[in-house]
Amino acid sequence: MAEKTIAVLTSGGDAPGMNAAIRAVVRAGIANNMKVIGVRRGYNGLLENDVIDMDLRSVSDIIHKGGTLLYTARSEEYNSSEGVKKAAEFCRNLGISGLVVIGGDGSFRGARELSAEGIQVVGIPGTIDNDIACTEYTIGFDTAMNTAMEMVDKIRDTAQSHNRCSLVEVMGRRCGDVALKTGIAVGATAILVPEVPFNFERDVIAKMLKTQKTGKKHFIIIVAEGVGGIDYFTRRIQEATGIEARGTVLGHVQRGGSPTLRDRVMASNMGHRAVECLRDGIGNRIIAVQNGKVIDLDINEALNMKKTIDRDLYNVALEISI
């Protein structure tokens, strides 16, 4: 007989590695004598009784798969106090005392509300954006960056053949982390991120013309989604430099695919830690990576922190992209 019942859900945009996290929660839960319930389609599953009992084998063969076995959603109905009460009531009826929420900031706000209703909730950061302030790392970030890097490498082949400038928009919502690291990895001439103000004429056009004088013939410019304007920037480069320019928005390709080793290991470690918290009766926590270590911290503290971009790394990019 299981000592307690916990549940797990994925919420918000999916991210490669979410399956590895679900697997870790289920396996660690069962190993710690808990019953584990899978909630489908994010918080919607708690409102519409869309749940399944998980066992050891229900999470076999998923560690290497992108997407999420439990499906995901951004729930409208849950975002009301009635929705939260209904979800809490549902948990109580099923005997669910603890819930693991794998998702982003928005999902954690939902988790905090449910905690206030007496359900112990632990959040695991799962988003390709790496935009959660309390943690150095979010599940899916590594895979998304590697996908973006591979795509830009392909774009570079054609930019090089035609002596063109290729502008590539990468995802990240309001956060420039995917753009910054991808930009460094592909040797971009300029990286535009929402956190750092820029002057397009000076920081992109003049820089291109200057590097052209040293023999550079093709260019990669990375534009974070949070900056936007890729069509305008593409036209402007062509008009101001005479260099043929093409813009590509990478889009959802960055959210799919088999998770990298880093994402699988992080997800497994974080999933395991989340279950340890619930096993010890600790709720209202967010699992995070700080100084390279997996830790847990208070949800309010986590949500009050402000995300910043790594300015040192940004300056490295500036100095070597000449």
Kindly state whether residue 172 participates in binding ligand F6P, applying the rule CB under 6 A: yes
Kindly state whether residue 225 participates in binding ligand F6P, applying the rule CB under 6 A: yes
Report the residue number, 173 or 216, with the smaller CB distance to ligand F6P.
173
Contact, 77 vs 47, CB < 8 A?
yes
Binding window for ligand F6P (CB under 6 A); candidates: 124-132, 187-195, 206-214, 257-265: 124-132
- The residue within the footprint of ligand F6P, chosen from 8, 9, 10, 13 (CB under 6 A), is 13
Question: Taking the complex as a whole, how short is the minimal distance between the CB of residue 70 and ligand F6P, in angstroms?
Answer: 16
Alpha-carbon span 169 to 171, nearest angstrom: 7
The residues that are catalytic are: 129
Alpha-carbon span 107 to 300, nearest angstrom: 13
Residue in 174, 158, 176 with CA at minimum distance from that of residue 166: 158
Contact, 254 vs 178, CB < 8 A?
yes
Size of the site for ligand F6P (CB under 6 A): 10
- The residue within the footprint of ligand F6P, chosen from 173, 246, 262, 307 (CB under 6 A), is 173
Locate 209 and state its tokens: 């013309």
Alpha-carbon span 292 to 115, nearest angstrom: 27
Residue in 109, 112, 107 with CA at minimum distance from that of residue 126: 107
Kindly state whether residue 128 participates in binding ligand F6P, applying the rule CB under 6 A: yes
Contact, 267 vs 259, CB < 8 A?
yes
Residues of this chain, 234-293, that bind ligand F6P according to CB under 6 A: 255
- The residue within the footprint of ligand F6P, chosen from 129, 142, 177, 195 (CB under 6 A), is 129
Query: Which residues form the interface with ligand F6P (CB under 6 A)?
Result: 13, 104, 127-129, 171-173, 225, 255
